Chains A and B, each alone.
With several copies, the nearest count.
Chain A
Amino acid sequence: MNASWKNLRADFPILDQRINGQPLVYLDNAATTQKPRCVIDALVRYYERDNANVHRGIHTLSIRATAAYEAARERSAKFLNAGSPAEIVFTAGTTDSINLVAHAWGDENLKKGDVILLTEMEHHSNMVPWQLLARRTGAKLRYLPIVPGDTGLLDLDQLSSVLTPEVKIFAFTHVSNTLGVINPAADLCAAAKKVGALTVIDAAQSAGHLPLDTRAIGCDFLAVSGHKMCGPTGVGVLYGRAPLLDNMPPYRGGGSMISSVEYFESKWAPAPAKFEAGTPNIADVIGLATAMDYLDGLGREAIARHDEKLAAHAYARMATEVPGIRMLGPAQHRSGVISFALPGAHAHDVVTLADRDGIALRGGHHCNQPLMRKLGLPSTARASFYLYNTEAEIERLIASLQKIQKFFAE
């Protein structure tokens, strides 16, 4: 892997195209990121040379596929600084990872009177699985609020009043996909530990964007999507501390997750196999490991600095050069995600008009309906930056937003 910041855009074949006659400016990275050539090549290489089912095979291709699949598990453990590869479960993505915890841990351990604590800025994927779990078990949901206003920061002054001993599990996002807020994950985990609550971190927007050390953070579970960190679609990771995974019942039943099967009962394999029923997404797991290599080649510290610098720059420029714009999230110390609202121009119209200028934005509720209601906005437009974005692209965004504003003001 010889990723380098110089000529980095050339690593991403998709960026080299025109949209509506203009060079593509891809600013929808919070939805999904683009893939470097090395990740695409890893998929091709796998299918052209090594493709076979894993684990149960003794022939050469199967040995190769199994070795690559398990090497990806070790790579992921290193990427997240897990205690061992056995703490890495491959899933279909963040949503799947969170549902796994809610089912396998939650159904067994929650009961009426228990509380599931979330925050007001959670993505639907870190809210609906807990609503469903609450319905199944009789546990209650509770929310840590955000402070009034548009910074969207968590109201940490209220933490001690909501994080009470009835809280059995505290699930929160590391980075907000709408506000760009970076939450103090280690502090929240330490506070949860004090009341005996487990922690689940939604790292969809932080894995691949910031350094991410599960042991330093001290979380119990952490969920990741490959497609949001230069990896393929359809693959993700659940990190879980070994003693927890070891004691959880399985989620899905099927091949490979068993130790022995009889017609009327079965015994489970140990974690992580216990949670990986059926043929796994072998090629994409291997592609994800390649993405991890790529990101670490650039350095996650450097990526975080790059994103934050672009976002702070864009935030400042937009706030001053687009009159009347409403900016969400903090002005600094943030991730690369910026949501905003233009007076008189609905987010969908903003996105359609920006697309005419070759700029890919997202508009809507960003799977944050309750948060949007709280902010009093039906929707926002969102620009989200990643490693291949540039200051020149921010200039094109500003120019486009100014044009759009004029279009609707006329």
Chain B
Amino acid sequence: MHDLTDLYQTVILDHNRRPRNYRVLPTANRVGSGNNPLCGDEVTIYVELDGDRIKDVTFQGSGCAISQASASLMTLNLKGRTIPEAEAIAGDVLKLITSGDVKDDEFSDLSALAGVHQFPARIKCATLSWHAALNAVHGEPAPATTEKTSD
């Protein structure tokens, strides 16, 4: 319980060290951004939407290992999905991150995020890129933020 390796699983450390799809996507037709004003994490998601399908998705940004790994895993898991599929996956992952309950082993690498729920201060790090990706896919212009923004 609350063991550090619950949070920093090998998968996470690996994705943090070598984030996948960490680049601007020149063919992107949707962009979503997100930030955590309390700690300064920022992420931008680039999506190439082909009709209903996420043809490609990449990200850039700065943040902790959890947020980088979560974004990296997000790109791998949403690429090639239709919007409804992506929504379903994102919903399951957000539930997983906040509850820790792994539904079944349909999540392969994503279950590495299950340990985050034991670290309440880090949950927002893990969820940020998923919210930003949903925003991109939905064409929501406002940045996702862990606190919602106004000005």
Contacts and interface: CB of A to CB of B under 8 A. Distances in A.
Direct contact of A and B (CB under 8 A): yes
Given A260-B35, A346-B63, A378-B63, A369 B40 contact: yes
A407 B120 CA distance: 21
Interface of B: 2, 4, 7-8, 13, 16-17, 35, 37-42, 62-66, 68, 119-122, 125, 145, 147-151
Nearest to B68: A346
A128 to B, nearest CB: 12
Given A269-B149, A364-B40, A378-B40, A259 B65 contact: no
Contacts, number: 92
Contacts of B35: 259-260
Given A67-B120, A346-B63, A352-B119, A267 B39 contact: no
Interface residues of A, number: 41
Nearest to A257: B37
A229 to B, nearest CB: 24
Contact of A348 (B39, B120, B145, B149): B39
Interface string A9-26: 000000000001000000
A269 B143 CA distance: 13
Given A62-B121, A63-B120, A346-B63, A259 B147 contact: yes
Contacts of B147: 259, 269-270, 273
A407 B147 CA distance: 31
Given A352-B7, A352-B119, A269 B64 contact: no
Contacts of B66: 348-349
Interface string A339-367: 00000111111001100100000011100
A17 B138 CA distance: 48
A268 B149 contact: yes
Interface stretch (A36-44, A53-61, A165-173, A390-398): A53-61
A365 B40 CA distance: 6
A372 B40 contact: yes
A157 interface: no
A107 B123 CA distance: 38
